[in-house]
Amino acid sequence: MTAKYKALVLGASGLVGKALVNQLCQDERYSQVTCLVRSPLSKVQYHDPLNKIQAIVIDFEELQDYQGYFSVEHVYCCLGTTIKQAGSQSNFRRVDFQFVHVAAQLTRAQRAKSFVWISSVGANAKSRSFYLKVKGELENAILRMPQLDNAAAVRPSFLLGHRAQKRTAESVGINIVKLLSPIMLGSLAKYRPVSANQVAYQMTQLQVF
């Protein structure tokens, strides 16, 4: 198979981002994986024998200045934080809504084939949860964006995997849900914790080839 696709990944240093980049590097369909990052990537964390990774350190506050990098077939957005890490609701919204929304706009402007990003199970613009409300508002904003036909969101529950930064509350929630997983059937199945590798794989399946 001849590699003919180029991918752009935002959030490559995160839990899902790392899993995704590793999967893309092993995917014969891709010839290049460009990663827009806040700080230099540690290449030892990635399996890239064919040197597909091109890491570009940028200022996400000025994401529009890097529009040229969106001239690829597929854009993957794994950006995300927590309100605790962000320090405030406004900072959280800036990362989880504004940055992702701008990325979708740049994807449209550069006519990429498709845009896939990470949302959350339970995302709803009318939710009483600020986190889920922002995720829902973002889904509405992107999916209603004109001339961005191939946009899709994955909606994982708790993510399983080793994080560089400890998230105590999330860890407690994961442990509880893992205990309940065997009885989470039917409509509750979507709330089961899922591995970062599974989410990354789902993202690749949503792209348009």
| pLDDT tens column, 188-200 | 455 567 899 999 9
Choice among 66, 113, 131, 133 that is catalytic = 131
What's the pLDDT tens digit per position in 52-84? 999 999 999 999 999 999 999 999 999 999 999
**For the sheet containing 151-154, what is the strand order?**
53-57, 30-37, 5-10, 74-77, 114-118, 151-154
Give me the catalytic one of 6, 18, 52, 135.
Answer: 135
In the annotation, is 135 catalytic?
Answer: yes
- For residue 8, list its beta bridge partners: 34, 75
CB neighbour list of residue 47: distance below 8 Å, 6 or more residues apart? 22, 25, 26
Q: Where is pLDDT greater, at 168 or 67?
A: 67
Please say if 69 is a catalytic residue.
no
pTM: 0.87
